[in-house]
Amino acid sequence: MHPSSAVTEVIRRRRTIKPNMMDPVRGIPKELVEELLENANWAPSHGLTEPWRFIIFQGASRKSLANTLQGLYKEHTSPDDFRPGKVDQLGQRPMQAPMVIAIAMRRGDRPKIPEIEEIEAVACAVQNMHLSATSQGLGAFWSTPGVLETGGMLSFLGLRDIDRCLGLLYLGWPKVGTTWPQGKRKPVAQKVQWF
Ligand SMILES: Cc1cc2nc3c(=O)[nH]c(=O)nc-3n(C[C@H](O)[C@H](O)[C@H](O)COP(=O)(O)O)c2cc1C
């Protein structure tokens, strides 16, 4: 295998680009969003359940997402854990990115397929999207604030109790002058055993 193959290059270049690094007004062409979604749809899934669902927020709808995240945080956070900075962050992030995609796992009607496998399939779909974004220079951030696990979030997204919201994928072009972040990983050899 040649290390400079196109897929290797994109995998290693993929980075988390947080919303405060994104240009909030530069839109993402619809065709590009459709390419990301189509590539997500090519993820593998046990039994071809295709459990990934995407709920897309752009323009004014980002404000209702922000308000919901803030409201749920206030409702579900104990006074000891409550951080005003977190409320601000939940309100600001959706407005800093031109698009936010809520990532959902819609549980199929095949109970023999373990829930974790449905979740794993959605994670594969998200990685496909993130890599596709990277290949176009588009930034992405997979965020998982605690409120995603609340019933209020499920109903906001039109999901059922047996479904899960697995994250928010923020998408946007890095602001002019942003340096693409450096990644770091411990050596893979520390995580592998060969027999
Ligand atoms: C399932 C999942 C959930 C994540 N949730 C968060 C999060 O809530 N907040 C955050 O700052 N980063 C989150 N991240 C992003 C990681 O912080 C990031 O991937 C890691 O720091 C490595 O950086 P890189 O993506 O640039 O390689 C999440 C990543 C994954 C895969």
Q: What is the CATH number of the domain that holds 86?
A: 3.40.109.10
The angle subtended at Cα 164 by Cα 162 and Cα 168, nearest 5°, is 165
The pLDDT value recorded for residue 190 is 98
Distance 167 CA to ligand 1 centre (A): 10
18 in contact with ligand 1, CB cutoff 6 A:
no
Write down the pTM of the prediction.
Answer: 0.97
What is the rounded distance in angstroms from the CA atom of residue 68 to the CA atom of residue 90? 9
DSSP strand E in 44-86: where? 52-58
The reply to whether 165 falls in a domain is yes
Structural domain that includes position 60: 18-174
The reply to whether 58 falls in a domain is yes
Distance 185 CA to ligand 1 centre (A): 13
The reply to whether 56 falls in a domain is yes
Overall number of domains in the chain: 1
The pLDDT value recorded for residue 183 is 97
> How would you classify the pairing of strands 99-105 and 139-143?
unpaired
Atom of ligand 1 lying closest to residue 17 CA: 26
Give the residues across from 140 on adjacent strands: 16, 171
The pLDDT value recorded for residue 4 is 74
The reply to whether 189 falls in a domain is no
Question: pLDDT by residue for the chain (195 residues), tens digit each?
Answer: 566 799 999 999 999 999 999 999 999 999 999 999 999 999 999 999 999 999 999 999 999 999 999 999 999 999 999 999 999 999 999 999 999 999 999 999 998 999 999 999 999 999 999 999 999 999 999 999 999 999 999 999 999 999 999 999 999 999 999 999 999 999 999 999 999
The pLDDT value recorded for residue 176 is 97
142 in contact with ligand 1, CB cutoff 6 A:
yes
Q: At what angle do helices 6-13 and 115-135 cross, to 10 degrees?
A: 100
The reply to whether 12 falls in a domain is no
The reply to whether 9 falls in a domain is no
The reply to whether 3 falls in a domain is no
The reply to whether 134 falls in a domain is yes
Residue with the two structure tokens 């095949």: 110
